[in-house]
């Protein structure tokens, strides 16, 4: 989600900056191509280039062969820190890069396009013209006034995507042999393991409600007028 947020926000701002220029069409084509490629295809691309061709990063499992996973909380990165095993932490982070990039880049085009559309709508408001009449610089208008209002629909979309990441990553998990919740759910359904199915389903619900609550709180903090609706 961090990758998707960084790429999406930067790309959305860049697409907005390119408006009314010859490069605008190229930006639209680029974002459309990114949106057309699913996450598992990005995963295969990254495996071929970074794992097989250039051999820069590992692309299967969670740890290098021979490494034992410390088990304290169940969260691999946190357990490696608690156990004081930097080698395990570094290996786990390396194994996270490619699947994280595949999912992040697949989610980022939607953020780009929503942010750009929101900025275009906000720039039609009267307060933007008034700011220009007062001599406010374009960068200050964008980052101080327009972005604060345009980010609200983008935050809502990011909340939906974040919820989806907890269960909608099955294909990427299969490609990278990563034991995620998607694999766990499919295995439980295949074996008719009702307690696991119920537990994972309840986890999805709880996470989705928590994320929606956080997103609502962020939107209200950015625009207190929402509390009056």
Spatial CA neighbour of 14 closest among 2, 22, 23: 23
Task: Give Cα separations from 228 to 74, 109, 225 (angstroms).
Answer: 42, 32, 6
**Predicted local distance difference test score (pLDDT) of residue 229:** 53
Mean pLDDT by 10 residues, the chain (229 residues): 94 92 90 91 95 93 89 90 94 94 94 94 92 90 89 91 82 88 87 93 90 90 73
23: Cβ contacts below 8 Å, ≥ 6 apart: none
* 76-118 confidence digits (pLDDT tens): 999 999 999 999 999 999 999 999 999 999 999 999 999 999 9
Q: Where are the alpha helices (DSSP H) in the chain?
A: 2-17, 24-36, 39-46, 76-82, 86-122, 126-133, 138-140, 147-164, 170-175, 181-190, 194-222
Whole-prediction pTM? 0.88
Q: What radius of gyration do the chain's Cα atoms show? A: 21
């Amino acid at each position: 989600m961090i990758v998707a947020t960084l790429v999406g926000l930067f790309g959305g701002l860049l697409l907005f900056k390119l408006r009314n220029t010859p490069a605008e069409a190229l930006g639209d084509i680029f974002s459309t191509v990114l949106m057309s490629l699913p996450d598992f295809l990005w995963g295969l691309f990254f495996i071929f280039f970074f794992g097989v061709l250039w051999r820069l990063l590992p692309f299967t499992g969670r740890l290098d062969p021979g490494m034992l996973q410390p088990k304290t909380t169940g969260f691999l990165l946190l357990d490696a820190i608690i156990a004081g095993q930097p080698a395990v932490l570094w290996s786990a982070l390396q194994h996270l890069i490619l699947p994280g990039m595949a999912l992040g880049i697949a989610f980022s085009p939607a953020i780009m396009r929503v942010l750009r559309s929101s900025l275009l709508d906000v720039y039609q408001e009267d307060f933007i013209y008034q700011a220009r009449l007062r001599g406010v610089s374009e960068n200050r208008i964008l980052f101080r006034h327009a972005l604060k209002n345009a980010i609200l629909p983008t935050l809502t979309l990011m909340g939906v995507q974040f919820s989806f990441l907890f269960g909608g990553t099955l294909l990427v998990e299969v490609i990278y042999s990563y034991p995620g919740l998607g694999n766990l759910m499919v295995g439980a359904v295949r074996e008719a393991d009702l307690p696991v199915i119920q537990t994972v389903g309840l986890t999805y619900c709880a996470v989705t409600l928590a994320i929606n609550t956080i997103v609502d709180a962020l939107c209200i903090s950015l625009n207190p007028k929402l509390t009056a609706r």
